[in-house]
Structure 1
Amino acid sequence: MADAGHRTALVSGAGNGLGRAIAVALAGAGHRVVLTGRRREPLEATAGLLGADTRVATVDVADAASVEALAAELADEQISVLVNNAGVPGPVKPLGEIEPDEWDDVFAVNVRGMYLMCRAFLPPMLERGAGDIINLASVSGKRPLALRTPYTASKMAVIGLTTTLGAEVGPRGVRVNSLSPGPVRGERMARNFRLEAQQLGVSEAEAEARFASRATLGRLVEEHEVGAAVVAMLQMTGLHCADIDLSAGMVAR
């Protein structure tokens, strides 16, 4: 059974974008939030938006020693909610032009990093017989997205990690779910539209319009909607081994 009441939530990649929006939403719902990311300055900026008891810690989720050090640093915390948001967008170009190191860099953060964070923070949850893990996947992992092969492959891997881990730990009281946003308005999508426009020989506005037209609402998802979805998922106590689409209708099933 999930922990009752307001809990301490760890959010990775919380220095900007979706991580910041998720942290703000969790704090607004009454949770204490621990912010993690590679650089302290943006984390401190996020902390300034939250309560005085917000904690900041740096980590490179792709590095096992760094994650182990984070777990040791936070040993005095009862982390009841782990939101694995840290991720990188990867290259925007045809598969044949993607270098092996570029491919590996995407999987190192988006998949290995999620595995390492789960591995580090699961044991106390299992000991208590309660906890929640929410992994950020993407609708890009479930529909074709030209020029984004490593990213889409990594996000499908996140969904597989989520369902399998959930099957392992659900009987011991820990819920594991994934949230698949997209497309979300923000710096990352602006960067993708710019690179896609260069590849296709169109304007950035046209690249964005083409992408948004795939959603039946005809618009991008807003960052605050992703934060609200995370809070809602935590309140749905029967939700487990599930992947939730938040795509403005880009994926319908």
Structure 2
Amino acid sequence: MPTFDLLKPAPGLRVLVTGGAAGIGARIAEAFDEAGAHVYVCDVDPAAVAALRAAHPSIGAGVANVAERESVDRLVDDAAAALGGLDVLVNNAGIAGPTGSIEDIEPDDWDRTISTNLNSQFYVLRRAVPLLKASPAASIVAMSSVAGRLGYPFRTPYASTKWAIAGLVKSLAIELGKDGVRVNAVLPGLVAGPRMDRVIAARAQALGIGFEEMKAAYLAKISLGRMVTESDIAAMILFLCSPAARNITGQSISVDGNVEHL
């Protein structure tokens, strides 16, 4: 086999992507599908799930709220049944959380961010890891953020969860190494699209400035001066799940154009 064929995930991988019916998650699912994997996604939005099914009949999909344990239990059972097992878990589901000063953040908004971004990762892992241990090509990718390596004022709930994911990945890589299960995190920077526009708008409102001024301030913090795309993130995840990455585990890998500070 030519060396660079190792950069492609093996055809037939059984892949579960949480939060996979729209945005970054959908692009990840599409990329695996294009690479010949068998893919199952979940999403909390029934309309997004229906749209993905219509656009990509080869991708299995179901509605699930990953912040709820019972919903996750059903999800993993359904995915395992549809796929016949599991080789790759992409723990992608998450929310932006509130924007504001720490003293102004509502406790319910804090709790919702922790539940959706962090607790959900545990709920899926506790059910998926036994399946992954039975795979000869097991890989877990957890979605963190550039906010998981930098301080992020006015976005403390979000940043706290993303820092926690880095610790989760490092610990699990040690725990699961003996089983041949690799565990890594991907840290996207500013990803062009509607979600980033909403984040910029919320931050601009919190600071009392205009949207374009706030956007320019964000771009000025990136060494390459541009946002990344959903496809950039998907490409890194495909690489991490390929044979070329067989000795990469326990890492938090930024795909962000080098965001210098937030």
TM-score range, shorter chain: over 0.9
Shift of 1:186: 1.4
CA distance in 1, matches of 2:95, 2:216: 23
Task: Give the corresponding residue for 1:161.
Answer: 168
Deviations 1:72-100 (A, max 9, x none): 22342312111010001000111110111
Shift of 1:129: 5.2
Find 1:11's aligned residue among 13, 17, 26: 17
After TM superposition, the score normalised by the length of structure 2 is: 0.90
Matched, 1:188 2:204: no
Work out whether residues 66 and 116 of structure 2, in 8 Å CA contact, stay in contact via their aligned partners in 1: yes
Matched, 1:171 2:178: yes
Find 1:64's aligned residue among 63, 69, 73: 69
When structure 1 is superposed on structure 2, of 34-43 and 72-81 the one drifting more is: 72-81
Matches within 5 A, 1:1-253: 4-50=10-56, 52-76=57-81, 77=83, 78-128=85-135, 130-235=137-242, 236-251=245-260
Work out whether residues 163 and 241 of structure 1, in 8 Å CA contact, stay in contact via their aligned partners in 2: yes
After TM superposition, the score normalised by the length of structure 1 is: 0.93
Q: What SS does structure 2 have at the residue aligned with 1:34? A: strand
Q: What SS does structure 2 have at the residue aligned with 1:86? A: coil
How many residues align? The count is 249
Cα gap change, 1:33 to 1:75, in 2 (>3 Å)? closer
User: Structure 1 stretches of 5 or more lacking a match?
Assistant: none
Work out whether residues 35 and 47 of structure 1, in 8 Å CA contact, stay in contact via their aligned partners in 2: no
- Aligned AA (1:42): A
Shift of 1:220: 0.8
Deviations 1:24-83 (A, max 9, x none): 111122211101111222123223443x33211111111111111122223423121110
Deviations 1:183-224 (A, max 9, x none): 111121111111111111211111111111111001111111
Task: Give the corresponding residue for 2:4.
Answer: none
Deviations 1:146-205 (A, max 9, x none): 210000010000111111011101111111110000111112111111111111121111
CA distance in 1, matches of 2:10, 2:182: 13
CA distance in 2, matches of 1:71, 1:128: 15
CA distance in 1, matches of 2:202, 2:73: 36
Over the aligned positions, Cα root-mean-square deviation in angstroms equals 1.6
Q: What SS does structure 2 have at the residue aligned with 1:74? A: helix
Give the fraction of aligned pairs with identical amino acids, expressed as a percent: 31
Work out whether residues 233 and 239 of structure 1, in 8 Å CA contact, stay in contact via their aligned partners in 2: yes
Deviations 1:110-146 (A, max 9, x none): 1000011111111011134541110000011211222
Shift of 1:4: 4.9
Work out whether residues 130 and 172 of structure 1, in 8 Å CA contact, stay in contact via their aligned partners in 2: no
User: Structure 2 stretches of 5 or more lacking a match?
Assistant: 1-8
Cα gap change, 1:119 to 1:90, in 2 (>3 Å)? same
Cα gap change, 1:54 to 1:7, in 2 (>3 Å)? same
